[in-house]
Amino acid sequence: MAPFPELLGDLGRAAVAAAYGDAARARTYRPDIALVNHYGPGAKMGLHRDGDEKAPDPVVSISVGAACVFRFGNTATRGRPWTDVELHSGDLVVFGDESRLAYHGVPRLLAAPEPPDTGLVSGRLNVTLRVSGL
């Protein structure tokens, strides 16, 4: 079995290939940052941009655990327009190109009738893969 960082990279490349329909682009995707956030009951994250990296490569966001509302906004402001999407455990979101610096956040977790079988007692994990460009 491959080491965990290698498995995350493979998952990121597969997500990029599926999102863009471009296997050549996916082969060059080499994330070197994995940011992990835990959202406990009642947690949220305001609209923000993932803009500290020097590389323009896509962001791959992986959801594990409780479902949430993911708010995907525009690149100019934290205000409207935005789109709210329900993310469930196992969902992946890829954003890049013109949307790479879009504001996004999690306004709330959703009540689940049955928690997904993830090993989490409660809440949600989000793993965000990025390329630093360093």
At 29-83, the pLDDT tens digits run 999 999 999 999 889 999 999 888 999 999 999 999 999 999 999 999 999 999 9
Q: Residue 18: is its pLDDT beyond 90?
A: yes
Counting Cβ atoms within 10 Å, is residue 119 exposed (0-12), middle (13-18) or buried (19+)?
Answer: exposed
Return the pLDDT at 118.
Answer: 82
Return the pLDDT at 117.
Answer: 79
Question: What pTM was estimated for this model as a whole?
Answer: 0.88
Domains of the chain, residue spans: 31-130
Q: Domain 31-130 in CATH: superfamily?
A: Alpha-ketoglutarate-dependent dioxygenase AlkB-like (2.60.120.590)
Q: What is the DSSP letter of 23?
A: H
Higher-pLDDT residue of 98, 6? 98
